[in-house]
């Protein structure tokens, strides 16, 4: 595991900066291991690399890079921002979901209501010939692709 460096950027331009950095990495280079942007942490791009000087060369004169100083941070500081959201927070009305457990396993349906308190979703099965709303626990569905 390499060292982690924080690059200060214009808020909202983190992904663009990450793509620009990625494009500057020479083919076959082992200096950069990862480039990470966190939606919850605006204004920063994190670059995991071997040396700070190598990262500084990659971000030199890049558009939307605010600070010329590249700061080394610990991996633990970033890990606090990597929190998996519960499934109930990711499912919204109108989404298409697949039932993965219970008597309706294998069916797909459109979510018509989300009850976050009871952790249930109400959906209408797409395979049904007429609207047939069912309520099932959220842990029995997953977003359809």
Inform me whether the pLDDT recorded for 80 exceeds 80: no
Domains 3-79 and 87-143 share a fold: no
Cβ–Cβ < 8 Å for 47, 31: no
Please give the residue that has the higher pLDDT: either 2 or 115: 115
Q: What is the pTM of this model?
A: 0.58
Angle at 145 between CA 138 and CA 40, to 5 degrees: 70
pLDDT in tens, 86-110: 888 889 999 999 999 999 999 999 9
CA distance from start to end of the chain: 33
Q: How many angstroms from the chain centroid is the CA of residue 43?
A: 16
In the chain, where the domains are located: 3-79, 87-143
Structure tokens at 8: 């200060």
Q: What are the tokens at 126?
A: 């797409």
pLDDT level of residue 40 (50, 70, 90 thresholds): confident
Burial label for 30, CB within 10 Å (0-12, 13-18, 19+), is exposed
Q: Quick check: 68 pLDDT over 80? A: no
Tokens of 52: 């700070």
Topology (CATH level 3) of domain 3-79: Alpha-Beta Plaits (3.30.70)
pLDDT of the residue at 77: 81
Task: Count CA within 13 A, CB hemisphere, residue 88.
Answer: 13
Round to whole Å and give the CA distance between 100 and 14.
36
Judged by average pLDDT, the poorest of 4-8, 22-26, 43-47, 82-86 is 82-86
Half-sphere exposure (Cβ direction) of 19: Cα atoms closer than 13 Å: 4
At a CB cut-off of 8 Å and minimum separation 6, what does 118 contact?
Answer: none
User: Does the domain at residues 87-143 carry the CATH identifier 2.30.30.30?
Assistant: yes
Give me the mean pLDDT over the 63-70 stretch: 82
pLDDT for 62 equals 86
């Amino acid at each position: 595991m390499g060292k982690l460096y924080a690059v200060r950027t214009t808020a909202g331009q983190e992904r663009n900066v990450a793509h620009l950095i990625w494009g500057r990495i020479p083919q076959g280079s082992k200096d950069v291991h990862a480039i990470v942007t966190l939606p919850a942490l605006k204004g920063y791009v994190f670059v995991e690399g071997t040396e700070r000087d190598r990262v500084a060369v990659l971000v030199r004169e890049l558009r939307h890079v605010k600070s010329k100083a590249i700061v080394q941070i610990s991996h633990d500081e970033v890990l606090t921002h990597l929190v998996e959201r519960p499934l109930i927070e990711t499912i919204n009305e109108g989404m298409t979901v697949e039932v993965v457990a219970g008597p309706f396993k294998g069916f797909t349906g459109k979510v018509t209501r989300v009850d976050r308190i009871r952790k249930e979703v109400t959906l209408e099965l797409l395979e049904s010939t007429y609207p047939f709303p069912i309520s099932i626990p959220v842990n029995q569905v997953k977003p359809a692709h």
